[in-house]
Amino acid sequence: MTKNEFMAELRSKLSGVPEKDAEDRLGFYSEIIDDRMEEGISEEEAVRGIGSIDEIAAGITAEISQARNKDQKRESKRKLKTWEIVLLAAGSPVWVPLAIAAVAVTFSLYAVLWALVISLWAVFVAFTATAGGSIVIFVVQVIYGNALAGVAILGAGLILAGSSIFLFFGCKNSTKGTAVLAKKIALGIKRIFVKKEAAK
């Protein structure tokens, strides 16, 4: 069988395949035959070495059919069917408030987390300021002859100062932890929307 005969018969077998796909495959096999002939193989041997036309045509048809099915699946994922749109519209009185509630809960969680952190820092500032103020009160009490009261106040101030040191590290770690948690929540929400966009 010559190259022209092979190409004509293969074209006939691919009559049910889209023209562009058929031309691409025909061009591919034409180049293979030409390459073999350039290597010194006769035209008939080059054609014979490619294989059965029926098997080649069946393989091409199956490959293109599989590619079409994948494209159709992607298309079906991108577009909502009519019944899905109707179902979404009918269920909107239920899922819309739920979606709003979910968003509200998320923002509330953010607010509560950062409110706790701010509260801890406020306590730290109060402890530090009180500890500093106790020194001033101690000096004043000593000047006015109330050394015992001054020592008691200074002792309380030192306790607050020591507590504020531990509280500082607690505030620092809680701030970092809250920032990491908030970032993870934000990334989780972002991934949900990114997946939805990719699925469309």
pLDDT at position 198 is 47
pTM, to two decimals: 0.45
Q: Do 30 and 77 form a contact (C-beta atoms < 8 A)? A: no
Query: Phi/psi of residue 144, each to 5°?
Result: -90, 10
Q: Do 76 and 199 form a contact (C-beta atoms < 8 A)? A: no
pLDDT at position 88 is 67
pLDDT at position 111 is 86
Which residues fall within 8 angstroms of residue 134, CB to CB, at 6 or more apart? 153, 154, 156, 157, 158, 160
* In the chain, alpha helices (H): 3-13, 19-38, 43-50, 53-78, 82-143, 147-199
Give me the tens of pLDDT residue by residue for the chain, a chain 200 residues long. 888 888 888 888 888 878 888 888 888 888 888 888 888 888 888 888 888 888 888 888 888 888 777 766 665 555 556 766 666 677 667 767 777 887 788 788 878 888 999 999 999 999 999 999 999 898 988 888 888 988 898 899 899 889 889 989 988 998 998 888 888 877 776 776 555 444 44
Structure tokens at 151: 């020592």
